[in-house]
Structure 1
């Protein structure tokens, strides 16, 4: 077997929010009534998107929202596909009084299987928007479709347990999901021994690193790749707190983590490679219903990226890291223009400079991460 054939490629994204407006255009929309100050009907988010970019042919097919992403996935054939699913998949009517509540109807779950998603990380600030019953139904719906979950569960043990994937003849990919209060997750959502919830980090201290290290070491075998998928930080701004940087480094240095998959920010942030292992501090939005909402245009949250990390399982080290940019229009992902790809190139080079990373724009408008 060649060295290349032994490598494992991960497909990673930021926030996949298929609830609310996106749910409304799919074949089985939920009751559109919302409990928001800004909008009283999920259909209003569809109207905003149509005002911005034109009509959406409702109902759309389940693969519609992925658009040109599916062609890239088919061609690149990543071994494991991991998303942050920031939506409850439920018919629950027990909504949390928190301002914004996302849900997708369970019968719309084929919109995830259309992209052959392997792992849905659930440790985020929307998975319990429709109560514990909504989380339990989310877990059951994903299980029935063979999508593994990490970061939330019916009990603390289940929430902390990793999702494990066998990659034939090459090793395993182990995904742990974690949430941080800094992303807006209420402390009351923390999983307990007999209480459904998320795997909420108490803090980003060395003690927490040691706890994670224990769980990683009890699971990891030679040839395994460990991903720590973390929902942390605010929605806007490129600043990366020093405690996040320190925590990420310690997870790699002391806990045996090979890939840090950070999300919560509505836009992509700078990328670091520490000891030949990638740290994504913020992947940005991927699939959302934010189209047409005004206020933060300078951050270009309409631009979405798929992250393709190729890892050598024998060492856990990064071999190649590539990003493919897209733009959301009419709730569908289209390949980004050259102008937009160059905007991303400039942003990644600016924000990666403190970490010694930059990107190279290729002829096909993909972005290859470089370091030195």
Structure 2
């Protein structure tokens, strides 16, 4: 199975792509793609379902929300293989699974001027892999909780664990670089971006500063989507956005989603609001505005959570299935069943209205 994390070479290319409406292959620009880091898709590479195939096949993607290992969830790392509990079975069923890792991975650094600070140990990556997670986005409002030192440790820990991530890097080009993988013959690119404004001006990656991909740099964000579309027909943008405690997307989310879709995003997944937010179609782009908390340290706004399964079909639009769960007293998500599950699914589907999405592509 071919898997790689790619970076378009030369600093000026993203600006070129942002100004161009051309949809030709990267070679047409005269600037070749350059591999900056080989990150094997180790989470599920041994599964026959993930191996590339010449025949068209359906591909199942799974997405979940915010995860960290603090307070009650930190204790779960005493046995990383069981940290996520029974819901790992659900995560492992998909061909590719992604979620938001909302923490720094460091024991050093200086706490930044903000209220909450999250950090964990490298065993977090073992727990994620053992739970069947394929990739994490780390473009969020906690990855630099302990400053540049904490960020450097986080990147080093992910690389040492050989665990795929998006959304952070040693400079802007690395932070916005897509992770590209081939799953059952289908090429997929994933980008991670934050839209959280808190400390964004000092956290955003630049040409000369490590940091996160943040939509405060809208030009770079949209150019990254266009560049990813040249590398893979399916482009997933994992966003960290929204207003905490709100189950409807805010105007900033609605506006950016339209721009991401226009730039070529096939799927947009969101987190940060600590609430489930609606999912559905924005034209031909599938959007899930908020996946809520998933493995979480306290009861924050809502314990409602779940796993969103999206199945990509060879010759038809994707289909979606929401598997409802609840954040338990241990911080682990527990799948719901029976009447409770049916009520949870109905509530989740009702959120589509204020998200201004449709049940079918338009």
TM-score normalized by structure 2? 0.77
Q: Give the alignment's Cα RMSD to 1 decimal.
A: 2.7
The answer as to whether partners of 1:228 and 1:259 remain within 8 angstroms in 2 is yes
Secondary structure in 1 matching 2:165? strand
Secondary structure in 2 matching 1:141? helix
How many Å separate the matches in 1 of 2:221 and 2:361? 28
2:201 pairs, out of 162, 180, 187, with 187
In structure 1, the residue matched to 2:187 is: 172
The answer as to whether partners of 2:284 and 2:361 remain within 8 angstroms in 1 is no
Matched, 1:231 2:240: yes
Which 5+ residue runs of structure 1 have no aligned equivalent? Answer: 28-60, 359-369
The answer as to whether partners of 2:66 and 2:271 remain within 8 angstroms in 1 is yes
In structure 1, the residue matched to 2:211 is: 197
The answer as to whether partners of 1:62 and 1:114 remain within 8 angstroms in 2 is yes
2:142 pairs, out of 126, 130, 148, with 126
Secondary structure in 2 matching 1:137? helix
1:141 pairs, out of 123, 132, 157, with 157
The answer as to whether partners of 1:82 and 1:118 remain within 8 angstroms in 2 is yes
How many Å separate the matches in 1 of 2:306 and 2:199? 24
2:172 pairs, out of 156, 162, 170, with 156
In structure 2, the residue matched to 1:6 is: 57
Matched, 1:303 2:298: no
Matched, 1:116 2:137: no
Name the stretch that deviates more: 83-92 or 239-248. Answer: 239-248
Shift of 1:244: 2.2
How many Å separate the matches in 2 of 1:241 and 1:197? 25
Shift of 1:238: 2.1
How many Å separate the matches in 2 of 1:219 and 1:197? 20
The answer as to whether partners of 2:324 and 2:345 remain within 8 angstroms in 1 is no
Shift of 1:305: 0.7
* Closer, same or farther: CA 187–21 of 1 in aligned 2, 3 Å: farther
In structure 1, the residue matched to 2:340 is: 340
The answer as to whether partners of 1:305 and 1:325 remain within 8 angstroms in 2 is yes
How many Å separate the matches in 2 of 1:3 and 1:271? 31
Shift of 1:125: 0.4
How many Å separate the matches in 1 of 2:182 and 2:55? 18
How many Å separate the matches in 1 of 2:270 and 2:199? 15
How many Å separate the matches in 2 of 1:186 and 1:223? 29
The answer as to whether partners of 2:91 and 2:132 remain within 8 angstroms in 1 is no
Shift of 1:86: 0.3
Secondary structure in 2 matching 1:220? helix
The answer as to whether partners of 1:91 and 1:106 remain within 8 angstroms in 2 is no
* Closer, same or farther: CA 158–356 of 1 in aligned 2, 3 Å: closer
Within a 5 Å distance, the mapping from 1:272-351 to structure 2 comes to 272-291=280-299, 296=301, 301-312=302-313, 318-329=317-328, 330-351=330-351
**Number of equivalenced pairs:** 309
* Closer, same or farther: CA 73–123 of 1 in aligned 2, 3 Å: closer
Shift of 1:22: 1.4
Shift of 1:328: 2.4
How many Å separate the matches in 1 of 2:107 and 2:320? 39
Shift of 1:88: 0.9
Within a 5 Å distance, the mapping from 1:95-114 to structure 2 comes to 95-114=111-130
Shift of 1:345: 2.7
* Closer, same or farther: CA 327–256 of 1 in aligned 2, 3 Å: same
Which 5+ residue runs of structure 2 have no aligned equivalent? Answer: 1-51
